[in-house]
Amino acid sequence: MIKLIDILFEGVNDPGIFKAIFVAGGPGSGKTYIAKQLFGIPERFNISMTGLKMVNSDKELKHLLNKYGFGTDLDKMPDEVFKDLTMPGGSGLRKFSKELTAQRMKLYKQGRLGMIIDGTGHDFGILHSMKKELEKDGYDTYMVFVNTSLEVAQKRNQERDRILPPGLLEKSWKDVQKNLGSFQSLFGNQNFLLIDNSSYLNAKQAENKFSILVSKHIKKFISKPIKNSIAKRWIKKQQILKKQGV
C-alpha cells in the first residue's frame, strides 16, 4: 500500500503538483491507451513521465476479478454472476474497487500530487463534484475527452480484456455523449481537449499525433504556474518551512 510519508517527501517543487487532469470517454473509446500515450505511462505502472499519478477504478476492478477467479470477460458471464459482481447487495467487487481507488486518490491529495483521473464521465454530477472538491484543495483542473463513434466503440469493446455486454456499452456511450457539451462548458476552452480516436493508427502515426498533442496542450497545462490561490498559499508556507529546516 502507498504510504503517505513517501508521498509527502516527493517535494513541494514536483512539476505536477496541484494539477488534476480528468480523462473522459465511453467504454471502448481507447481513453486509457490515449492517457498512456499522452502522459508517457509505461505498462504496469500508474505514474507518468510528468510525475502525475494515474487514478483508475477499472484497473482495480480488473485486478480483483482476476484475483478471485472470475476473469474479465463480463459479456460471457451468466447474468446472475454479472449482477452479483457489479450490483448493490452482491459480492461488491465494483464497490470495493471504487473504495480502493478513493483511498489511493485521498493519499495523492494529501500529498498535493498531480493526478490523471481516468473514468468514463457518464455521470456529470459525480465528476462535477470531484472537480469542485479538488479545486477546494488547491488543484487546477483540466479535461481530455476521448471520442469515438458507437460502431468503433463496440468493435474495440470486443478486443478488450474486460468485455462489456453490447447493450450496456451503448447505454454508457450515449450517457457520455450527452455530457460532452456540459464538460466543455465546465472546464472552458483553455482547459478542455477533445480527441477523436475513431481511426486505427499504426505506431508511427500514433507517435506523430500524440507528440503534437502533448507539446501543444498537456505540457502547456502542466508547466503553467498554478492559478489556484489555495495552492499558492500552501506552497509559499512549505517553502518557508523548508528554508527554516522544518
Per-residue pLDDT at 89: 54
pLDDT of residue 34: 82
Cell of 106: 485521498
- The set of cell numbers assigned to 208 is 506523430
Measured distance CA(218)–CA(50) in Å, rounded: 10
Which residue has better confidence, 96 or 9?
96
Residue-wise pLDDT tens digits, 142-167:
999 988 899 988 988 888 776 788 89
Give the separation between CA 117 and CA 22, rounded to whole angstroms.
5
CA distances from 197 to 1, 29, 84 (A): 34, 7, 33
Where is mean pLDDT largest: 5-9, 59-63, 99-103, 118-122? 118-122
149: left (phi over 0), alpha (psi -120 to 50) or beta: beta
pLDDT of 56-83, one tens digit each? Answer: 756 555 555 565 565 555 555 666 666 6
Q: Which residues pair with 142 in a beta bridge?
A: 21
Provide the 8-state DSSP code for 49: T
The yes-or-no verdict on residue 49 having pLDDT over 80 is no
Domain boundaries, the chain: 4-243
Helix or strand or coil: residue 228? coil
Phi-psi region of 14 (alpha: psi -120 to 50; beta: other; left: phi over 0): beta
Minimum mean pLDDT range among 106-110, 171-175, 213-217, 225-229: 213-217
115 CB contacts (<8 Å, ≥6 apart)?
A: 19, 20, 21, 52, 53, 54, 55, 105, 108, 109
> In the prediction, which pLDDT does 133 show?
94
CATH code of the region 4-243: 3.40.50.300
pLDDT at 165: 85
- Average confidence score pLDDT of the chain: 79
